[in-house]
Amino acid sequence: MNKLLVLPGDGIGPEVMSQVMRVIEWLSRKGRGEFSVKEGLVGGCAYDAHGAPLSDETMAEAMAADAVLLGAVGGPKWDNLPFASKPERGLLRLRKEMDLFANLRPAVVFDALVEASSLKPELVKGLDVLIVRELTGGVYFGEPRGIETLPDGTRRGVNTQVYTTPEIERVARVAFDLALKRDRRVCSVDKANVMESGLLWREEVTRLHAAEYKDKGIELSHMYADNAAMQLVRKPKQFDVIVTDNLFGDLLSDCAAMLTGSLGMLPSASLGPLDDKGRRRALYEPVHGSAPDIAGKDSANPLATLLSFAMMLRFSFNMDDNASLIEQAVQNVLKGGLRTADIMQKGMAKVSTTVMGDVVLRELDKLA
């Protein structure tokens, strides 16, 4: 039995997650997979219930689960909470305690949404790029850090960009392993020309490739981060898998996201290290936020959460057939001209969250 913890969270989180629950029920009914599902609170709703954005009990359930699926956290209701109690701290605690070091951000352009991209159709049609971002090291976590007052009364802010060989190796290995199932091309992005941490990054990725992946047919290239940003909007289809550090990954993944035209279509995964049973702790979530302005209106796009669930099926449960089925159902629905408000186009039919879930289930019935 596959153990799944569902954390709908705040804002539109519960609405989009309810559509995933319908697909889970469909898979079970069709005999395509059995899931033991627990539901918990995270973010603002957890603070309201427990006085903390993530309870110890829910954290323990996340550690025991085979995978965690999260909706969204945050909203103006909790903006004035102390820093340690803010909804986002619940998500950060999950990432830290589950040791989720590799963030996977696909940027896939569905044929039916080519016109939604801000780039010319010929640049993005058929785009399928995967960005692997190191998530637990680098300048966001390095020490020393802080703001200090100098003797002359001025202030200085300090952050430290630091990486070790094991931190670089493990995220690069994830990227190389994923490339084995794709087009076998990895581009490692750094600033080796001006940063010692970038030079170490390039050397360690190169060494690992030569030792373990060159003979497997994986092609490795290197690119400076500023050039990578330019190339993503100039010629994005040159990339297959991009692997990079926390800071550059944060920037490049959002840049790549907008190649697709809508955050409402983008899934993500965060993976931890392999345990002694070959299992990785993993958290899956849509890239979009909690969108409190449309919460409760049945107008949110559930497709990114459904696609995040598809990623879970593929990476945590080895159910590639089911993952591909969901992805094809989404493709078919879009081809049929149905859109939620965020991806609405002229001549298409605007539908609610629930109706989008209905038609995805109908497509699954046709495909199964």
Q: Which residues are catalytic?
A: 140, 191, 226, 250, 254
By C-alpha distance, which of 181, 168, 106, 93 is closest to 137?
Answer: 168
Half-sphere CA count of 117, side-chain side, radius 13 A: 26
Q: Which two tokens stand for residue 123?
A: 């640049």
**Looking at residue 96, what DSSP letter applies?**
H
DSSP string, 154-200: -EEEE------HHHHHHHHHHHHHHHHTTTSEEEEEE-TTT-HHHHH
Sheet holding 67-72, edge to edge: 35-39, 2-9, 67-72, 280-286, 267-274, 102-108, 128-134, 241-244, 185-190, 219-224
Report which residue type is found at 285: E
Report which residue type is found at 70: L
Q: Which two tokens stand for residue 217?
A: 């047919």
Q: Which residue has the tokens 């589950």?
A: 98
Q: Which two tokens stand for residue 20?
A: 């995933």
Q: How far apart are CA 243 and CA 79, in angstroms?
A: 33
Q: Which two tokens stand for residue 366?
A: 């046709």
SS3 77: helix
Angle between helices 87-97 and 56-64 (to 10 degrees): 40
Q: How far apart are CA 63 and CA 242, in angstroms?
A: 28
Residue 7's beta-bridge partner residues? 70
